[in-house]
A and B are shown apart, each in its own frame.
Chain A
Amino acid sequence: MESEQSGLRLRRQQALEALRRTATSRRPSLARPQFLIALIIVFGALAFLGYNAFKASSMYYLSVGELLARGDAAYGEELRVSGKVLEGTIQRGPEANAIRFTVTDGDGTTVPVVYQGVVPDTFQEGGEVVVEGGLSPEGVFQATTLLAKCPSKYEPKESGQG
C-alpha cells in the first residue's frame, strides 16, 4: 500500500515534469513530418474519391425551358429535368410498364417523356416530377429515373397549386 502510494506520487511528478517540458519546448505535434505525411495522404485520398465520384455522377439540372434552350447540345447528355406533368397527358403502354406523358414549365414549353418502370404513388397529373435520362434525336426525353413530388404531399389538397 505504502509503495503503491509513493509510486503514484512519482508518476504524478513525472507527469508534471512532462507537462513543463512540453510547455517550454513546444512544437505542434501535427506539424511533425510523420503526421503531416499521414494527413496529406488522408486528405488526398478523400479529395480523389470526391473528385472521381463527382465526375462520374454530376449532371445538369434543368427546367423544360432550359432543356429546350440547350438545343443540340442537349443530345447525348445525361440530364435531370424538372417540371409539372401536363394534365391529361399520362398514357400507359403499349409496352408493358411503359408510361408516356408531357412535362411542362407551366408557360407553354413542353417536352414529351417516356419512362419504363414502376411509378411512385405521388406521380399524378398536374404533379411535380423530376426525370433523369437523355433527350433522343426525335426530341423525346427517355427517362431512366422518375421521381415525383406531389404539391399536396404534406399539405392539404385544396391549398396545393397543382
Chain B
Amino acid sequence: MPDLGHAALLTGFVIAAYTAVASFVSARGRVGELWLSARNGVYAAFGLTTIASGALLYGLLTHDFRIKYVAEYTSRSQSPLYNFAAWWAGLEGSLLFWAWLLSLFAVIVLIQSRRNNRELIPYVSAVTMALLAYFLGMMGFAMNPFETLPVAPADGMGLNPLLDNPGMLFHPTFLYMGYVGFTIPFAFAIAALMSGRLSTDWIRASRRWTLFAWFALGLGNLFGAQWAYTVLGWGGYWGWDPVENASFMPWLVGTAFLHSVMIQERRGMLKVWNILLIIIAFSLCLFGTMVTRSGILSSVHSFSSGSAGPLFLALLTAVAAGSLGLLWLRLPALRSENQLDSLVSRESSFLLNNLLLVGAAFAIFWGSVFPLLSEAVRGVKTTVGPPFFKEVTGPIFLALLLLMGICPLIGWRKASAENLARNFLFPSGVGVTTGILLFALGMRPLFAALAFAVLAFVAASILLEFYRGVRARRRSRGENYAIAVPRLIWANKPRYGGYIVHIGVILIALGVVGSQMFATNVEATVKPGETIQIRNYVLTYQGLTSYTEGSKEIVAATLDVQRGGQSLGNIVASKSFAANREEPRTDVAIRSDPREDLYTILSGWSEDGSATFKVLINPLVMWIWVGGAVLLLGTAIAFWPDARAEERLPVTERVPAKGMRPSHA
C-alpha cells in the first residue's frame, strides 16, 4: 500500500506537469486536440491524487504502522474518526489533503465550464495543474507521507489529546478549503491576463469560487476560535498568534476582493486593483500555509516543521513575482472604463472599504513579521503583542462596520443631498439614540457605547433595505409580509444574501465587542463548601472526584451555581490525563446564555481537597457563534444560482460599453 501511494504521487506529478504544459500550449496555439489530452490529464491527476489519498487513509484506518506517518498520528485506541482526521494532522498528510482538494477543484471547474469560458479554461487548468505538480513533487521527492519505518511499532502515538475534539474535524478542513479555494479565482485572474480577455468574464466565472473560498476561510477561523475557547482554557477565542493572523489576512483581502469586483462588474473600474487583490489574497494563503508549516514565526501553535519552509518560500516567490510581472505586462490593456464621479457615491464607499480592509491586513502582516524584520535590520528581535493588534484593528473594524451601514444608503455614481437625507434619517436616528442611551445608562468606556451605536446604525440600515424591498412588493403585488420577505430575498439572491451576511457580521461584532470590553475574571483557591463570587454569580465548590474513562484519568470538580440568588444547577470543570501523555487537558465548564458565558477552569488542586479555579464572565460570546450560523445562511443564499444573475450574462456580451448600463438595483 505505501508503495502504491508513493507511485501514485510520482505518476501524478508527471501527469500534472504534462497537463500544465499541454494546457498552456493548447491555449497559446489554439490546438484543440492537445486540449482534449490536457482535459484528460486533469481527470487523471485527480484520479492519481485520490488513489494516493486512499492509500494513506487505508493505512491510517487499518493501523499500518510500517508507515511512519500512520505510526505518528494514529493509534489503536483512537477512534476511527480521529484516525481519519490524522490525514491533515501532520505536515505530509496535510500537503496531500491540499493537493487532493486542488485536483478536485480543478475537475469541478472543468465540469462547470463545458460550454462557456473556452478561452479562459485552458489557462486556468495550466495554473492549477502547475501548482498541483509542485505539491505532488514536494511530497514525491521531499516530504513523503508514505515513508516507512524499518520496524513497525506495535502501536502508534496517536494525536495529541488537545486535538481530540470535533474542532479537529472542521477547523483544518475548512481552512484548507479556503486556502485552496482561493486558487481558483487566482487561476482565473492569471488566465485573464494570459489570454488578454480582461473583461469581467473571469470575475463572473469565478464569483462563486471566491464566495466559497472566502466563506470557508471565515468559517474555518470561527471553528478554530470556538475550539480554542472550549479546550485550551485561557478564556479567549482569539490570541493574535502569528498562525491565527496568517489565516485571517487572506480572509480580509478576500473580503476586499468580493466587494471591489462588484464595482468592476457595475462600472468597469478598479480592474488592476482587483487582479492585484486576488494575487495578494492567494499569496497570503501560501504565506499562511508556510507560516503554519515551517515555524519561521514564533507561535504557540508549534506544528511539526521540516523542509517545508524553503520550498514554500520558493513557491510563494515564484507565484508573487510571476503574477505581478504578468500584470505589469498587461497594464495598458487594463484601463478603467469610468471615473469616480463623486466622493459621496457608492463607489467611493466601496473604495474606502477596500483601503481599510487591506490596511487592516497590512497592519496585521506588519505586526506578525516584525520580529523577523527587526532581527534582520537591527539584530534584536522585537515583538508586538495582542495590544498592538487590538489598538490598530479596533478602530479600523469600527470604521468598516460604519461603512457597512452607510454603503447601501448611498446611490451609485453620485448621491444627491435629498437622497442622503431621506436614507440616513432613520438609521442614524437609531444609532445615535442607542449610543446616547447606553452612555446615559453608564456604559463606559466611550468606545464601547460608540461601537454599539454603530452596530445599531448598521442593523437599522439593513432593516431599512429589507423594509423598502418588502414595501415595494406589497404595493406592486399585494403580498403580505410573511410571503414578501422570502420572495424578496429569492428574487435577488446575491444582494439579499449579502445583507444577511452583513447581519451575521454585526452579530459577530456584537459578541466581540461585548467579550473584549466587558469580560471579567477571578482566580481563587477554595475548600469544599466555600464560595467564589463574580459579578452576581455565586459558585459553591462541592468537591473533587476522580475516575477513569477508557485510557484517560479524569479529575473533576463540581460547583453549584447561583445567579442573583436563583439556582442554575451544577457545573463540572475537569482535567483529563491520557495514559501515554504528560500534559493534561482542561475541559472547561461553560454555562452559556444570550447575555453572557460563565466560564470556569479547574486549574489545580491539593491533597486537602481544596481546588483552584479561574472563573471568567464573557458577555455576549454566544452571538459570535450565532453570527457564524447567520453568515452560513447568507452565503448559501448568495451562492445559490440566481436567475437574474444568469440572465445578465448575454446582455453584457452584446452591449459595447460594458458596465455603463444603468444599475439593476
Minimum CB–CB distance from B461 to chain A (whole Å) comes to 22
How far apart are the CA atoms of A96 and B525 in the complex, in Å? 7
Contact A153 B162 (CB under 8 A): yes
A12–B660 alpha-carbon span in the complex (Å): 8
Judge whether B162 and A121 touch: CB under 8 Å: yes
Q: Is A58 an interface residue (CB 8 A)?
A: yes
Contact of B601 with A118 in the complex, beta carbons under 8 Å: yes
Interface centre among B71, B371, B583, B660 (most CB of A within 10 A): B583
Interface residues of B in 110-168 (CB under 8 A from A): 156-158, 160, 162-163
Which residue of chain B has its CB nearest to the CB of A30? Answer: B340
Of the candidates A11, A145, A158, which one forms a contact with B662 in the assembled complex, judged by CB atoms under 8 Å apart?
A11
Selected contact of B340 from candidates A29, A118, A156, CB within 8 Å: A29
Question: CA A53 – CA B385 in complex, angstroms?
Answer: 10
Contact call B385/A132, Cβ cutoff below 8 A: yes
| Contact, CB under 8 Å: A118 / B523 | yes
Q: Mark A78-111, 1 if CB is under 8 A from B, else 0.
A: 0010100000000010001100000000000000
Give bound CA distance, A149 to B298, whole Å: 10
Q: Are A155 and B392 within 8 A (Cβ)?
A: no
A121 partner, pick from B73, B232, B388, B661, beta carbons under 8 A: B232
Q: Does B612 contact A (CB under 8 A)?
A: yes
A120 at the interface (CB under 8 A from B): yes
Instruction: Give chain A nearest CB distance to B525 CB in angstroms.
Output: 5
Contacting residues of chain B (230-260) with chain A, CB-CB under 8 angstroms: 232-234
> A49's closest neighbor in chain B, by CB?
B392
| A130 CB contacts on chain B under 8 angstroms | 298, 300
A154 contacts which of B302, B338, B525 (Cβ < 8 Å)? B302
Contact B233 A120 (CB under 8 A): yes
Q: Is A112 located at the chain interface by the 8 A CB criterion? A: no
What chain A residues lie within 8 Å of B73 (beta carbons)?
A: 156
If the complex has contacts A35-B340, A50-B392, A53-B391, are A42 and B352 also in contact, measured as CB distance less than 8 A?
Answer: yes
- Counting chain B residues whose Cβ lies within 8 A of the other chain, the interface size class is 35 or more
Contact of A56 among B388, B582, B656 (CB under 8 A): B388
Bound-state CA distance A27–B338 (Å) is 11
Contact B382 A38 (CB under 8 A): no
Answer whether residue B465 sits at the interface, using C-beta atoms and an 8 A cutoff: no
Q: Is B543 an interface residue (CB 8 A)?
A: no
Known contacts A149-B300, A154-B302; A49 and B391 CB within 8 A of each other: yes
A61, CB-defined interface residue at 8 Å: yes
Q: Is the CB of B366 within 8 A of A50?
A: yes
Question: Which of A16, A61, A97, A117 is the most central at the interface, judged by chain B CB atoms within 10 Å of its CB?
Answer: A61
Residues A57 and B603 in contact, CB atoms below 8 Å apart: no
Q: Given A57-B388, A119-B603: A15 and B661 within 8 A (CB)?
A: yes
Picked from B89, B298, B303, B655, the residue with its CB within 8 Å of the CB of A12 is: B655
Say yes or no: is B363 at the interface (Cβ < 8 Å to chain A).
yes
The docked-state distance in angstroms from the alpha carbon of A73 to that of B3 is: 59
**Chain A residues, CB < 8 A from B162:** 121-122, 153
Partner of B339 from A22, A92, A157 at Cβ < 8 Å: A22
Q: What are 10 A-to-B residue pairs whose CB atoms are below 8 Å?
A: A42-B356, A43-B355, A52-B391, A53-B384, A53-B388, A56-B387, A118-B233, A152-B582, A156-B71, A156-B157
In addition to A38-B352, A57-B391, 16 A-B residue pairs with Cβ atoms within 8 Å of each other are A29-B339, A30-B340, A58-B370, A59-B384, A96-B523, A97-B525, A118-B523, A120-B232, A120-B233, A120-B234, A124-B583, A147-B300, A148-B300, A150-B583, A153-B160, A154-B304
Interface residues of B (CB under 8 A from A): 71-73, 89-90, 156-158, 160, 162-163, 232-234, 298-304, 336-340, 343, 348, 352, 355-356, 359, 363, 366-367, 370-371, 380-392, 395-396, 523-525, 575, 580-586, 601, 603-604, 612, 614, 655-657, 660-662
List A residues at the B interface (Cβ < 8 Å): 11-12, 15-16, 18-19, 22, 27, 29-30, 34-35, 38-39, 42-43, 46, 49-50, 52-54, 56-62, 80, 82, 92, 96-97, 117-122, 124, 127-128, 130, 132, 145, 147-159
Nearest 5 pairs of A and B residues by beta carbon: A156-B157, A15-B660, A53-B391, A29-B339, A61-B381
